[in-house]
Structure 1
Amino acid sequence: MPGKKKLIIDTDPGIDDILGLLLALSASAEEVEILLISLTFGNIEVKSCLRNVVSMFHILEREMQWRREQGRPEGFEALRACPPIVAVGAEDPLEDQKMLGDYFHGVDGLGGIHATHPHLTPKETWDHLFDASSEPTVIDPVPSGDIASPKALAHRTFIPSKRRAHEEILRVLRENDPDTVTVVAVGPLTNLALASAADPETFLRAKEVVVMGGTVNKPGNVTPVAEFNTYADAFAAARVYALTSPSPKSTVPPGESLPPYPESLSKQLTVRLFPLNITMRHGMTRGQYRKAAASSLEAGSPLAEWVSAFIAHTFRTIERLHTGHVGDDVDLSLHDPVCVWYAMTADDKGWKPTENSPEDIRVETTGQWTRGMCVVDGRNRHRIDGDEEHASDHGLWLSMKAGNRIWRMDESPAEANFGEILLERIFT
């Protein structure tokens, strides 16, 4: 039987980010242990990301209490067994001008829910719990065997950290055995770039890094050639991808401010890339959501009320932005939850990369129109056994000792019914 998956989730919540977090937290205690939720700017400013995560935990506390009162199973075993640490990270990209995704997610990241449904937002001021300049806050872990106690759950569903997110990432990797922790990155890769620059060898203790980002030979969703997360911090993506190379200096972007990687590293990073090519094929329709949430919503579920509020905004936004999407057929692509689902079920043989993986995928950082573009060498050329630039190989694309080695995921075991799996996990 596959063992429990240890996860770090680096995220910018965000609507589909929240759905991905709920999916992970709803797992059984034997499936998943979420060690850290690290926050970055992206869909919205990082402070708004923090409010959304704290609101999520607030709602989950209410939901589990409601389920107990209803005589229903509480669910969310992974959360009750091991409350995750939450850490605040990057406010800005490494080098680029900042772009946010609030045009889709709303200014607060959840479709304006904090203004339209204030009773679903916690009234407490949480900022001081994450303020490194204030007195340390000690929150004891929930006692073993007491995870079902209402008192044990009250504001104990997460552990706030005063460290920066990239420092917490390194701490978690340092304190766990090598190759046991998977990093799931579903926002811009700024926190990961900062962590890998500060201590490359500790960062390489990760089992693998699962990235929602990029698009390969398909239209982008923020420019004609770029996907949002990769565009939002192209330099960070390029730096993280460079760690998959036998020679990281061959693909690290020029002109960026972080220190160079050491000439020799103990190993290469494993990156599993989930570009739009695969995430766009995993969706949830308005009709599917309505059917799955109806009974919980009618019965008074706090979680169903909260999710329904921001999901309604999302489906309306999709109708406005895309022609031909109306009524119950409006489809929300579940970009981030797919990556979380992979990390939870990576042993399933239905997950398959492209036939030619690992691929040399590089990120454009300086192009006028192509920032964030994933560039892949599709030429049918012989490889060159050397690490010096060859007259016919400008950029070391053909070198067997240079270039990135990215596992681009192409098939999943849940493409046909992933939306239903997600909803059943969250609401059952």
Structure 2
Amino acid sequence: MQQNPTRTVIIDTDPGIDDAVAILLALKSAEFDVKGITTVAGNIGIATTTRNAGRILALEGRNDVPVIAGATGPLSRKGFDTADIHGNDGLGGVAFPDPLAAPAGNDAVAWLRETLDTADAGSIAILALGPLTNIARLVQEHPDAAKRIGRVIAMGGAVYEPGNIGPRSEFNIAADPEAAEIVFDAGLEMTLIPLDVTRKVRATRDDTAMLQNTGVPAAVASGALIDAYFQSTTGGESRPLHDPCVMLLALDEALFGCETLKLSVDTGTTRDAGALSVDETGSSVSVALKVESAAVLKLLYERLSAE
């Protein structure tokens, strides 16, 4: 793969097992200049997701990337508890060092506004790995700053696939459907990576053993994190790597096939809350619907394992 020019990115996240793998991939990829990590309550509460972001950075010795705490819950509804999947610490009990620095703030939206306003318009991309609450609040409270975002790449939703937290709904969108609707409607340059793609990017136990045998800290930790998925979920010989697909698409978009769809979000109160529908009255969003699974896994493992 030809290396792309360096792109300044902000990672908006709720770490989270697969969030952690995605963040490690970003930190190991020279194409990304990570300006900061903003956190959101999603997989687990905001205090833990914020601490986990610092712990992941500490594994790579990165004290140059600030962590800013964000939304403590959805815009207008109760969040989910996924400790049964991600563990009480959010990272499946995998050992990480303590953060090297305290969070740089507790108002992610204000930090996003200031950062976007002081950078060239369009120069910063947001890689969104969790509920879209922080970005939605930015759109609502600071629309001019939101318009300066170069691109949003987000993991979320299910288009033609069944959901993973409801019959048709995926966790990130279902955790805050109102936020997703706001972001989709904002007219931002946005690519959504749904379960239709992420379920095709799957790690096996052989993969986790290979990663842990490299001795490279990011690879060892990633192998242990994916193994934790095997421990907390049942059935099958592999586990999907949802959030790393965001970084992988940013690294090599040619490995994905995207199509512009008009999407509406179910903001009701049934088990379909957060479900996406292709609807002529919906918002136009670029959606990844195809992926070269073997190639993206090769890229992921090569980056994580690099010395």
Same fold (TM over 0.5): yes
Q: Secondary structure at the match of 1:406?
A: strand
Q: Name the structure 2 match of 1:312.
A: 227
Task: Give the structure with the higher percent strand.
Answer: 2
Q: Decide whether the 8 Å contact of 1:284 with 1:334 is kept in 2.
A: yes
What's the counterpart of residue 282 of structure 1? 201
Correspondence for 2:22: 20
1:426 aligns with 2:284: no
In structure 2, the CA distance between the partners of 1:302 and 1:334, relative to structure 1 (3 Å rule), is closer
Shift of 1:332: 1.9
CA distance in 2 between partners of 1:291 and 1:305 (Å): 9
Distance 1:341 1:109, change over 3 A: same
The answer as to whether partners of 2:10 and 2:125 remain within 8 angstroms in 1 is yes
Note the C-alpha offset of 1:305: 5.2
- 1:75 maps to none
- Aligned counterpart, 1:351: 256
Q: TM-score, normalised by structure 1?
A: 0.67
Aligned residues: 304
Q: CA RMSD in A?
A: 2.1
Residue range with higher mean Cα deviation, 199-208 or 16-25 = 199-208
Please tell me whether the aligned partners of residues 36 and 169 of structure 1 are also in contact (alpha carbons under 8 angstroms): no
Q: What secondary structure, in the 3-state scheme, does the structure 2 residue paired with 1:35 have?
A: strand
For 1:336 and 1:163, locate their aligned partners in 2 and report how far apart those are by CA, in whole Å: 24
Please show how residues 116-127 of structure 1 align to structure 2 within 5 Å: 117=95, 120-122=96-98
How far off its partner does 1:59 sit?
2.2
Pair 312,217 (structure 1): closer, same or farther in 2 beyond 3 Å: closer
**Partner residue in 1 for 2:213:** 294
Q: Tell whether the 8 Å contact from 1:279 to 1:338 is kept in structure 2 after alignment.
A: yes
Quote the residue 2:182 is aligned against.
Answer: 239
TM-score by length of 2: 0.91
Match of 1:98 in 2: 79
- Which residue identity does 1:95 align to in structure 2? S
Instruction: Kindly provide the CA deviation profile for residues 285-338 of structure 1, in whole angstroms up to 9, marking residues without a partner as x.
Output: 111121232141xxxx555554444333221223x2x3xx2xxxx312111111
Instruction: Give the C-alpha shift of residue 104 in structure 1.
Output: 1.0
Cα distance change, pair 198–427 in 1 and its aligned pair in 2 (3 A): same
Unpaired runs of at least 5, structure 2: none
Q: Is the 8 A contact 1:24 1:344 kept in 2?
A: no
The code of the aligned residue for 1:207 comes to G
Kept after mapping to 1: 8 A contact 2:213/2:220:
no
Is the 1:182–1:343 Cα contact (8 Å) retained in structure 2?
Answer: no
Deviations 1:342-387 (A, max 9, x none): 22334xx343312xx1x2101111142321010112xxxxxxxxxx
1:409 counterpart (278, 282, 288): 288
Q: Which has the larger radius of gyration?
A: 1
Deviation at 1:96, TM superposition (A): 1.3
Question: Is the deviation greater in 287-296 or in 16-25?
Answer: 287-296
- Give CA-to-partner distance per residue, 1:3-62, whole Å, 9 cap, x none: 21111110000011010000000012xx2211111000111111111221222223223x
Distance in structure 2 (CA, Å) of the matches to 1:338 and 1:279: 7
Find the counterpart in structure 2 of residue 34 from structure 1: 34
Change (3 A) 1:338 1:226: same
Contact 1:5–1:343 at 8 Å: present in 2 too? no
